Structure 1
Amino acid sequence: MTVVVAPPYLTDEARRDWQLLQAATEDPPAFDPAQAELLPEPARRWLLHTIAPGTPLLRGVVLETHGTIRLGGWRTFHATEVLLPMMGFVWTATAYVGLLNVQGFDRYRDGSGEMRWRLLNTVPVMSGTGKDITRSAAGRLASEFVLAPATALDPRIQWKPVDDRQVIARLPVGDEEHEVTLDVAPNGRLTAVTLCRWGNPDQSAYHSHRFGAKCEGEVAFDGFTIPESFRIGWWPGTKRWADGEFIRFSIDDALYR
């Protein structure tokens, strides 16, 4: 299976994660709709909608995306992400500030999170490591399991119904259990994902904030139907959403592994 080449600006550790997280799923079984029968109704409905019968249950994915990100103002960007739910991710991107570019990555694997961003790959813009960055990155990883839907069948995930549209997935990342709420339309389409995520979006001390994504449209790759576009940020569903939203993107390609 072809490995997606890492961008040149990754650190040695991020490059190692990039390679490890692209490992192919070993002997993936084919999806049988009966596997979803014991899930709470919204989760069952979503899974039957998002995975076609007979699809190999591949656990990881490499995503190509484009959109806008808030860096002072809204800036265009394109990105590649290697994602293996509950294990780790490396998200790399190039954003454009006028004629200049900002390049860098966010990553999490094996209990370690990091961000590193540079203007023209030289001037530091933003970087960080440590327990707060790690804990925040772990929350992001927990929320992104919906982009690799086969993860939903992992026995480590505990499901709890809320009502006829919402269901909570409790899944382990690092040393914590994260409760991720999925909002599922009557036809099985995923419309929103929310959780409490560690962070400091108001530039104060780190603590838990409401975080989430609004999902729009759909696109299919390799037997998986996932949202096509996302609006992501802090405090969804509140008056602070306009200030908390910081990224909007669409998926151009998804390679499941």
Structure 2
Amino acid sequence: MTGHVPHDGDRVRSPARLPGRVRREWAALAAPTASPARFAPHVADGLPAPVRRWLAHAVAPGAPLSETAELVMHGEIRMGTWRPFRAHQILAPPRGLVWAAATRLAGLPVSGFDRYSGGTGEMRWRLLGAVPVVSGSGPDITRSAAGRVACEFPLVPAVAPGPAVRWEPTDDDRQAVAYVRVDREEFAVTVRVSPSGRLESVSLLRWGNPDGRGYAEHPFGAAFEGEARFGDFTLPRTVRAGWWFGTDRWPEGEFIRFTVDEAAYR
């Protein structure tokens, strides 16, 4: 399946509803990759076999290794019950991300953003654009948001063979561990790849408070289904993510499901 790739004239821009300071963070993260190298098989030499298989499948020969992605998505998010949402995202691992989305609560519009940029994390969500619903910042939010940046790096495949990721093989030919440093912390992200090269899942220990008992490390991950090609890159089409991934608490911890509708790389 081929997804929609925005052209220069309709490239995703920072949502107008974002505060000015967050729009500036979006613009900084969206800066084009400086002089990107071109992908060739030798770029993956020395990487674990599952990673070489994934990159050969996901990146077209000669593709510029652009390390910033602009994404448009739709799906469901669990806020008490599952609610539909639409979102725009700028993703530039390991530097950061801004995810801006809109949904409805009791029939009323809720919009806001999650971000990790400039070494800090934050979330701000408002009902009718005015009434605070969820707000958070500080060290715990920052650490959790940094883990999200690390977990989402496979949506920007060009980052995988670069200096931001250190790879180690495992005994399983379908898995490798990516060590992703986001500012001061390094995250061990397990990447699972099918024999055909399709990305199957990512998982890590992520700082969070999913059960309301205080912040701690919990299993977190995402399962990928289907694929779509966006220009030079093949991405998972559908993503299911949440806490306690790979455990019997996964049905309780899953909180977001989305489909990638558009992707553009810079």
Q: TM-score range by the shorter chain?
A: over 0.9
Partner of residue 94 from structure 1, selected from 94, 102, 109: 102
Matched, 1:204 2:213: yes
**RCO greater where, 1 or 2, for CA within 8 Å and sep 6 or more?**
2
Deviations 1:43-99 (A, max 9, x none): 111111110111111110100000000011000000000010100100000012343
Structure 1 contact 191–215 (Cα < 8 Å) conserved:
yes
Output the TM-score relative to the length of structure 1.
Answer: 0.97
Structure 2 contact 89–100 (Cα < 8 Å) conserved:
yes
Identify the residue that residue 131 of structure 2 maps to in structure 1: 123
1:122-161 equivalences in 2 (<5 Å): 122-161=130-169
Matched, 1:219 2:219: no
Identify the residue that residue 14 of structure 2 maps to in structure 1: 6
Report the CA distance shift for 1:156/1:18 in structure 2 as closer, same or farther (over 3 A): closer
Comparing 6-15 and 67-76, the one that deviates more = 6-15
Partner of residue 28 from structure 1, selected from 33, 36, 49: 36
Identify the residue that residue 238 of structure 2 maps to in structure 1: 229
Tell me, what secondary structure is at the counterpart of 1:150? helix
Partner of residue 253 from structure 2, selected from 238, 244, 249: 244
CA distance in 2, matches of 1:154, 1:240: 34
Deviations 1:75-131 (A, max 9, x none): 000000001010010000001234311100000012110000001111110000000
Tell me, what secondary structure is at the counterpart of 2:260? strand
Identify the residue that residue 113 of structure 1 maps to in structure 2: 121
CA distance in 1, matches of 2:260, 2:198: 16
Partner of residue 186 from structure 1, selected from 189, 195, 199: 195
Comparing 130-139 and 218-227, the one that deviates more = 218-227
Partner of residue 51 from structure 1, selected from 43, 48, 59: 59
Matched, 1:254 2:263: yes
Output the TM-score relative to the length of structure 2.
Answer: 0.94
Give me the identity figure in percent: 53
CA distance in 2, matches of 1:156, 1:63: 21
> How much has 1:27 moved relative to structure 2?
1.7
Report the AA paired with residue 206 of structure 1.
Y
Report the CA distance shift for 1:113/1:54 in structure 2 as closer, same or farther (over 3 A): same
Q: Which runs of 5+ in 2 are unaligned?
A: 1-7
CA distance in 2, matches of 1:5, 1:149: 21
Tell me, what secondary structure is at the counterpart of 1:42? helix
Tell me, what secondary structure is at the counterpart of 1:29? coil
Identify the residue that residue 74 of structure 2 maps to in structure 1: 66
Q: How many residues end up aligned between the 2 structures?
A: 257
Structure 1 contact 110–174 (Cα < 8 Å) conserved:
no
CA distance in 2, matches of 1:250, 1:4: 16
Give the RMSD, CA atoms, in angstroms.
1.1
Tell me, what secondary structure is at the counterpart of 1:18? helix
Q: Which runs of 5+ in 1 are unaligned?
A: none
